[in-house]
Structure 1
Amino acid sequence: MTLLVYFLTLFTFMTGTPDSSLSKSYDEKLEEGIEAFYNTEWEKAETIFTQLMSENPNDPQPHFFSSMMPFWEYFFIDQNEELATEFLDRSETAVELSEKRLDNSPNDTTMVLLLSGLHGYRSLVAAGESNYRVAVRSGMTGFSYTRKLLSLDTDRPDARIGRGMFYYMMGSVPSELKWATNIAGLRGDIDQGFEELKIAAESESYVSNDANMLLMYLYNKEERYEEALYYADLLTDQLPKNVIFKFKKAEILESSGNKKDARELFAEINEMNHPDLPLLTKKSRIKVEELTDLTQIY
């Protein structure tokens, strides 16, 4: 089970019975939307989430899942300002709704978990756009929710993900802005972040794939390709229909110098011609041509 699927199951567990506005068909549709998301069937997922937003405007969950689509595109395919803005706009609605629900129900673990993840992801996107002030602010807010999770259960793998993202963000703040984090009494470094994420990834829990995803991305960002490829292999084995993870694995193979295997995987993605991710197909086709020329030379 993944972190996203867990939000649905935990909500039902914590409340005992579904909210009066949530019928069984609502829950089933949400689960169907989550499955479509993880299989990168995003047109189908978006249709379902939009319908659920209309059925229950106060539920933050479909807004969260909807915001994850531009987040993944930004995170794994193309870090451009348009996708960053789309994610930040969509996730802001999810944050507002989650905070309202948490105000009414302070012990709602699902909302604490949701807010910890949302602010953590917002901090990563802000950092990707070199907006480190927003990144630090979002990281601090996210970590406040992570602290709340830790106060409930110090061994929770989901809390370790939040803490790992926070430590990584603190460690990646440029030296000229370190004074701000020092004044605030905030500490953390990149290796601490990796260690927390590894513990979550190695756990037999619903968050292991989410931790694997973050480790793949962050190790690749740090140009530690052997470690990044290890987690890419885990993800493509666990979620074979997810074309985004295939693409990221191909990129890591290329960066590590394995041009042949990278070309084969890019060719596979190009042949799939994913209808919801045309940019992925275009980028893969260009890579096949580039790598074909290189392999012929060598």
Structure 2
Amino acid sequence: MRHVLITFLLLFSTLYSKDFYEGDPLVKKAVYAFYNYEFDRAVIILTDAREKYPDHPGVHLIWVAARWVRSLANDPVEDANTMLESDLALIQPVYEALVERFEYDQTYQLYRGSALGLSARVTLGKKQWLRTLYRAFKGFTIIGDVAEKSPEIKDAHLPIGIVEYYAGISNVFLKWAVELYGLDASREAGLNEMSKAANEGDWAWIEAKGILSFLYLWVEEEPIMAYKHSRDLVAHFPKNYYFNLLLLESMIRTDKIDESYTIIEDIENLSSDLTDRQKEWYFPYFNYEKALLTFHQKQYSNALELLNSAINSYTAELDIILGNAYLLQGMTYDKMNKRIEAKSSYKLCLDCNNFSSAMEKAKQYLKLPYQGK
């Protein structure tokens, strides 16, 4: 499961560049529409931008990404990935020509590398491991060269940070491979690089803040840092359901209880605009967040009811929230003095076998009951 998450984040994180090229205002308009879940509007704008500004370095790849994510929100995953593969094949010769024409501008190489990386997401879905590794490595190699030759392109720090961080929590072989490439295979170095993109990036700051919020909540256990980044994201993209969920958990875990209820109302108002597939993904997340809040309010029966609903309706590919839901379920049972049920929940949490901090907590609470406040 961890491979799916990190690969997706790596491949989707370098889609943007400076507000410098002809057509940037139109592309920026589409990007903001995209992050506010206005997918149809974003695709229409980007289709128009591709025709008007074919030399723009990012418009072709951003168009592909927008069409793919729109399809994921409406269609079966297999259909979305088939379209992604077709669209990437369409833009590959476009980037080959652009790189040749603008050989001194490393931004075009950045997008070319990103397109190659995103193509690995297709082979990953087909479990074609060697092709996935080849495409991902080829794309990252190009991005790494861009970072070395053009350090002023701050957005390139994000994929480098993701690779360093992932290597830092992975096996010795992967650490060795990453260090052989000249990178620092550690969590600290990865967070530092991603923070540079979040604080200084021209476009990658959006994805960087989203990734950092995720990691600070569910891996690093630093909700104050998650609150800082998720608050910025919601301020810029108030209609983004996922960013609001990140902000909600960071508020709950930093004891901003009154503000949490306000965010819950905001999220409920956004729910009607989701597609059916998005509701399948996000409603279990939302129930988990509400369970976390009621747990903090010592309303254990209500928390358990919400957790059962979240777990039973969980369909998302990523199981980080599912693992945390099982963990919280076990903690709730412990507070209700139901030790047998609690241990069963902790074991189910461990079955997720992901890289979240919930795994270590579940091991701890299997040995000794949760007794926190």
Q: What is the rounded CA distance, in whole Å, between the counterparts of 2:131 and 2:254 in structure 1?
A: 35
Could you tell me which of 24, 30, 38 is aligned with 1:41?
Answer: 38
Question: Aligned partners of 1:127, 1:174: CA distance in 2, in Å?
Answer: 20
C-alpha distance in structure 1 between counterparts of 2:28 and 2:105, whole Å? 20
**1:97 corresponding residue in structure 2:** 94
Q: How far does residue 45 in structure 1 lie from its aligned partner after superposition?
A: 1.2
Deviation at 1:222, TM superposition (A): 3.1
Partner of 1:146: 143
- Corresponding residue of 1:19: none
> Which of residues 174, 185, 189 is equivalent to 2:185?
189
Matches within 5 A, 1:1-298: 6=17, 9-12=19-22, 29-53=26-50, 61-69=58-66, 83=80, 86-120=83-117, 133-171=130-168, 178=174, 181=177, 188-191=184-187, 192-203=189-200, 205-220=202-217, 222=219, 224=221, 226=223, 227-250=225-248, 265-273=263-271, 275=273, 277-281=275-279, 283-285=281-283, 295=294, 296=299, 297=301
Look up the equivalent residue of 1:102 and give its one-letter code.
V
Q: Match of 2:243, as an amino acid? A: F
SS at match of 2:65: helix
Within 2, Cα distance between the matches of 1:72 and 1:253? 28
Residues 241/208 of structure 1: CA separation in 2 closer, same or farther (3 Å cut) = same
- Conserved? CA contact 1:38–1:242, under 8 Å: yes
Question: How far apart are the structure 1 equivalents of 2:154 and 2:32?
Answer: 22
Q: Post-superposition shift, 1:215?
A: 1.9
Q: TM-score under structure 1 normalisation?
A: 0.67
Where 1:269 maps in the other structure, the secondary structure is: helix
- Maintained 8 Å contact 1:171/1:189: yes
> Higher mean Cα deviation, 155-164 or 124-133?
124-133
- Alpha-carbon deviation of 1:125? 8.0
Aligned mates of 1:228, 1:206 — CA distance in 2: 19
C-alpha deviation, 1:224, in angstroms: 3.6
Q: Percent of aligned pairs with the same residue?
A: 18
Displacement of 1:193 after TM fit? 2.0
What SS is found at the alignment partner of 1:43? helix
Q: One-letter code of the match for 1:189?
A: A
Q: Residue 10 of structure 1 contacts residue 110 of structure 1 at CA under 8 Å; is this kept in 2? A: no
Asked whether the 8 Å contact 2:155–2:197 carries over to 1, the reply is: yes
Sort the Cα spacing of 1:125 and 1:212 in 2 relative to 1 into closer, same or farther, 3 A.
farther
Return the letter of the residue paired with 1:238: H
Alpha-carbon separation, structure 1, partners of 2:127 and 2:262? 34
Q: 1 CA distance for matches of 2:154 and 2:61?
A: 20
Secondary structure of 1:268's counterpart equals helix
